[in-house]
Every structure is written in structure tokens, then in C-alpha cells.
Chain A
Amino acid sequence: MVTVGLYHYLFISTILFSLGIFGIVTRKNAVMVLMGIELILNAANINFVAFARYGNFGFQGQLMALFVIILAAAEAAIALAIVLNIYKVFSSVNVDEINRLKE
């Protein structure tokens, strides 16, 4: 178990995924929920790149990691725009206080 192999990378991504879910479930601030989502996306990316190295997919795993990074950038931009709008309407971004869609 000392020599680093596929299992080590999968272990790290499992822990990152669990921590991301913990962050999403327990934080009240919407920006912190976004950070949890970033952790989960990065955990998936580590899996993609690790399987690109140790599996038999060639370079397509790295390509998928690239696509995930691009989608994460788009997601962060949209989500922060929505969070700013929520702050304008409610003067707070706590996800447990936001309970109506109408302004």
C-alpha cells in the first residue's frame, strides 16, 4: 500500500466528494454551497484523470476532465449572478430563509 497507485487517487476523490456533500448539506450561505459543488466537481475530475492514466481509455479521460472544468466555469458564473440577485431581493443569501420565488 506504500507505492502510490490507482487506489490512492480514488481514495482522495472519495474523501473530497464526501466533504463536498457535507459542505452542501450543512452550510447556510449560498456561496459556501457553491464551494461544496466545486469540491464535488474536482473529485469527479480526479477520477477521470486517474482512470485516463490507469484504465484503458487513452486520453479521453483527460478530455472529459477538461469539459468538466469548462462547465464548472459556466456554472459558477450563472450561480453567482443568481446569488447576487437573491441578495438584492432578500438582503441575505442564507438558503434556509429564501422560501418564495416572487419578489
Chain B
Amino acid sequence: MTLYDIIFYLFAIVTIFSAYFVVTVRNIVYSAFCLLFTLFGIAGLYALLGADFIAIVQLIVYVGGILILIIFGVMLTNKITNVQIKTGVFQILPATVGVGIFGGFLLAVLLNTTWVNLDIKTSPPTTFQLGTLLMNEWILVFELLGIVLLIALLGAASIARK
């Protein structure tokens, strides 16, 4: 049990428990805050996997952008005088059974497959390799994603303004 393992289990416990609370707590604001801890835990897992740039992007885009958007969504779609911001739930029992069967199936597939398991040790600064790939092999995808982001921005502004 090295330090790496201890830090991994810490992040794993934070991620899974807060994700569990995201989907079970009735209060929407609480579950948005639990989503914050889930995203932090996942960023920690990326850092443990040697993907430092992805971890930072996860923190900036998810925690700084998407989570704020979601909290704005919660605030704007509930009446201000309504102190209890709750969500209704339905189909709890069939959903539990179905998701249990599905998750068990996925776990069985995971454990019964022999994955390629090389354990490539990457040097911590991954930005050079990522930038080289983005500007050479994946340049078309990079530009297309820029266009997609622009169209999404314009579309969101024009939909919300109506």
C-alpha cells in the first residue's frame, strides 16, 4: 500500500460517495454542491493517471463553467420565494433493479475481459505532446470543435433570448 494507492482510494471514495448523493438527495442545490466534489475527485483521478493538463481543464471547464451554469439553471427555474428547492422522483424501484442489473452486467464484462495492461509511465508535463497532436494529426477536429463551440454559443444566446 504505497502513498499513490492511499491517495487513489481517497479520491475514489470522495467521487463515488458524492456521486451517490448527487442522484439521491432531494434538494437540488445540495446535489449541485455534491457534483462539485464529484468533479474535484475526478480531476484528482486524472492527475493520478498522469494527465495533468486534462485535470486542470476539468477544474476550469467543469467546476468553473458547467457547474456555475447548472447552479444558474437551478436558481432561474425555481421561484425565489420557494425556499424548498426540491425535485420529485419517480420509478425508484424499477430504476434501482434495472440499474443494478445493468451495472452488474458491466462489472462482469469488466472483470472477465483481458485488457491491454501496459502501465506506460508518462512524464508529468503532457502539454507538449497534446499540443503537437492537436496541431498536426487532429487539426481538423480541433477547428471543427471551435466552430461547434461558436455555434453552440450563438444558439444558446438566441434560444434563451426569445
Contact = CB atoms under 8 A, between A and B. Distances in A.
Interface in A54-72: 54-56, 58-60, 62-63, 65-67, 69-72
B19 A27 contact: no
Contacts, number: 232
B140 interface: no
B12 A70 contact: no
A70 B145 contact: yes
Nearest to A80: B73
Chain A: number of interface residues, binned into ranges: 35 or more
B155 A78 contact: yes
What secondary structure prevails in chain B residues at the interface with A?
A: helix
Contact of A14 (B1, B12, B110): B110
Contacts of B4: 4
A68 to B, nearest CB: 10
Contacts of B96: 22
B148 A74 contact: yes
A12 B16 contact: yes
B132 to A, nearest CB: 9
Interface string B145-157: 1001100110111
B124 interface: no
Contact of B16 (A16, A32, A38, A49): A16
B54 A49 contact: yes
B23 A22 contact: yes
Interface of A: 2-12, 14-23, 25-32, 34-36, 38-39, 42, 45-46, 49-50, 52-56, 58-60, 62-63, 65-67, 69-78, 80-85, 87, 93-94, 96
